[in-house]
Amino acid sequence: MTHPRSSLPRTTSRCTAAVALVAAAGLLAASPASSATPDRPRAAAADAGTLAPPDIPISNVKAHLTQFQSIATANGGNRAHGRTGYKASIDYVKAKLDAAGFTTSVQQFTSSGSTGYNLIADWPGGDPDQVLMAGAHLDSVSSGAGINDNASGSAAVLETALAVSRAQLQPTKHLRFAWWGAEELGLVGSRYYVNNLTADDRARVSGYINLDMVGSPNPGYFVYDDDPAIEKVFKDWYAGIGIPTETETEGDGRSDHASFKNVGIPVGGLFTGASRTKTAAQAAKWGGTSGQTFDRCYHSSCDTSTNISDTALDRNSDALAHAIWTLGTTEPLPPGESYENTTDVAIPDNAAAVTSALTVSGRTGNAPTALRVGVDIKHTWRGDLVVDLLAPDGTAYRLKNSSSSDSADNVITAYTVDTSAETANGAWQLRVQDVASQDTGYIDSWKLTF
């Protein structure tokens, strides 16, 4: 349909062929114009939900060990896969988490003819596309109670989860804690868990932190050398208390992190040593006894409540809490960051709408109440144009209506739109339709400023 034209001479500011040429130049990826770092940890305590990491009370961690020891004692001296002491351990941990507001689930599997159990505890909230996990194997070998291996890691992970609840933490990432069954039979439970995640759910796990043997009685301070970000957070924490660390080398792939690492999930973790011998140099920097193993009760009946260094267990519990707080909470990007698409898009004359997209990522929550939409459209009769902003979910916000009387060239302006009902991250589009014949133009560029 043609609208009545004024008798003014029509200006042609650009030749149509040239427009088509630039429009065919291909899609450019939109990118943030500022240099903000997306995954920067929060510097310090600030607003609600972002309090500083807590000091995990060692007495609480030790109380869990006492319970695990009692469970073993009441169940033939162990908490091994397929034995009653294992299921009792699951029940103990699950009850604590349920009471603290976690969403728990018990995953069953079969290994060596017995039913095994993984316990998964999700802390409600956070970005479901960025899941930070921490876990520990809950089973012992059948020869003992498995207090260092691995009630220690199980208790540290449990008490960290309970601290998340006490703080009512509102991390930007989704937090998930896990206790694995049948690790001692060959990482069976964690492998079962990972194998049963959909490809999408696997991709959502941004990191897995493993704690297996973190209270060895003659301890070393070993940090897994895997994902650099996780490794750094642990090394920095230890450096902050003046304790040197070493890279874990006693068996890469010998605990549940291997199940995650094998499918490409970033992993990290802590370890205080098993059957290797502490050197003189290690004793000099860490204390303890050189020429003796880190854990002389490794996989034996003397791995009981007394087979623990409280100091090592305390440090590793605090280090885990620090890592969860730091890696789980990414700083919201500062206001003022822009995303721009500078690829030209031809606007056909009196025809269907065209769109230009740009992807916003790395932000949290909803878009602002005053989103700035910068528009640069070259056109020889801008009254022909209807312009909308489309949110990632497709909601349209009208920026400009057509007007038969507006014969000026170009739409070069910025609009302010209340987009507080929209998720910030995702593909935003500028939609432009030319609704009257004769004049044409193109989207030169457009930009969102958050």
Signed CA dihedral, 168, 169, 175, 181: sign only: negative
Q: How far is the CB of 53 from ligand TRP (least distance, A)?
A: 23
List the single partner that 376 binds among Zn ion, Ca ion, ligand TRP, none, CB under 5 to 8 Å by kind. Answer: none
Smallest distance, Å, CB 185 to Zn ion? 10
Name the catalytic one among 183, 248, 340, 422.
Answer: 183
Choose the contact partner of 158 out of Zn ion, Ca ion, ligand TRP, none; CB within 5 to 8 A by kind. none
427, containing H or E segment: strand 426-434
The entry of Ca ion, ligand TRP, Zn ion, none near residue 444 (CB within 5 to 8 angstroms by kind) is none
Omega into 150 within 30° of 0, i.e. cis?
yes
Rounded Cα gap, residues 290 and 53, in angstroms: 34
**Residue in the block written with tokens 């305390």:** 314
Residues between 91 and 150 with contacts to Zn ion, criterion CB under 5 A? 149
Q: Which is nearer to ligand TRP, 255 or 429 (CB)?
A: 255
Min. distance of Cβ 189 from Zn ion in angstroms?
A: 13
Among ligand TRP, Ca ion, Zn ion, none, what does residue 127 contact (CB within 5–8 Å per kind)? none
Binding partner of 251, given Zn ion, ligand TRP, Ca ion, none, CB within 5-8 angstroms per partner class: ligand TRP
For ligand TRP, the closer of residues 150 and 304 by Cβ is 150
Contact code string over 323-362 relative to Ca ion, x by CB under 5 A: --------------------------x-------------
Ranked by CB distance to Ca ion, the top (closest) residue is: 384
- In the window 378-397, what residues touch Ca ion (CB under 5 A)? 384
User: In angstroms, rounded to a whole number, what is the distance separating the alpha carbons of residues 201 and 197?
Assistant: 6
Out of 434, 442, 443, 447, the residue judged to bind Ca ion by CB under 5 A? 434
C-beta of 146: minimal distance to ligand TRP in Å?
9
Q: Compute the chain's Rg from CA coordinates.
A: 29
Nearer to ligand TRP, 151 or 399 (CB): 151
Residue number of the CB closest to ligand TRP reads: 251
Q: What is the DSSP letter of 213?
A: S
Q: Do the Cβ atoms of 276 and 218 come closer than 8 Å?
A: no
Binds Ca ion (CB under 5 A): choice among 314, 376, 439, 444: 439
Cβ atoms within 10 Å, residue 129: 12
Closest CB to Zn ion among residues 267, 357: 267
Smallest distance from the beta carbon of 111 to ligand TRP, in angstroms? Answer: 15
Question: Which chain residues interact with ligand TRP by CB under 6 A?
Answer: 149-150, 183, 212-213, 248, 250-251, 254-255, 271, 274
In whole angstroms, the minimum distance from the beta carbon of 349 to Ca ion comes to: 4
**How far is 371 from 113, CA to CA, in rounded Å?**
59
Please provide the DSSP assignment of 87-149 as one string: HHHHHHHHHHHHHTT-EEEEEEEEETTEEEEEEEEEES-SEEEEEEEEEEE--B-TTS--III
Binder of residue 254, out of Ca ion, ligand TRP, Zn ion, none (CB less than 5 to 8 A by kind): ligand TRP
From Ca ion, Zn ion, ligand TRP, none, interface partner of 212 (C-beta below 5 to 8 A by class): ligand TRP
Nearer to ligand TRP, 171 or 266 (CB): 266
DSSP conformation letters of 222-255: EE--SSHHHHHHHHHHHHHTT---EE--S-TTSS
Residue 252 C-beta: closest distance to ligand TRP, Å? 7
Q: Decide: 422 and 395 in contact? Cβ < 8 Å.
A: yes
Angle, CA of 319, 322 and 324, to the nearest 5° = 110
Q: How far is the CB of 196 from Zn ion (least distance, A)?
A: 23
Of the candidates 389, 410, 411, 408, the one whose C-alpha atom is nearest the C-alpha of residue 399 is 389
Q: What angle do CA 310, 236, 225 make, to 5 degrees?
A: 85
Q: Do you know the residue count of the chain?
A: 450
For this structure, is 183 an active site residue? yes
Q: Which is nearer to ligand TRP, 139 or 444 (CB)?
A: 139
Nearer of residues 295 and 384 to Ca ion, judged by Cβ: 384
Tokens representing residue 433 in the block: 């339709």
* One-letter identity of residue 233: V
Instruction: Compute the CA torsion angle 304, 307, 311, 312 (nearest 10 deg).
Output: -90
Contact residues for Zn ion, defined by CB under 5 A:
149
Q: Which residues bind Ca ion (CB under 5 A)?
A: 349, 384, 434, 436, 439
Active site residues: 183
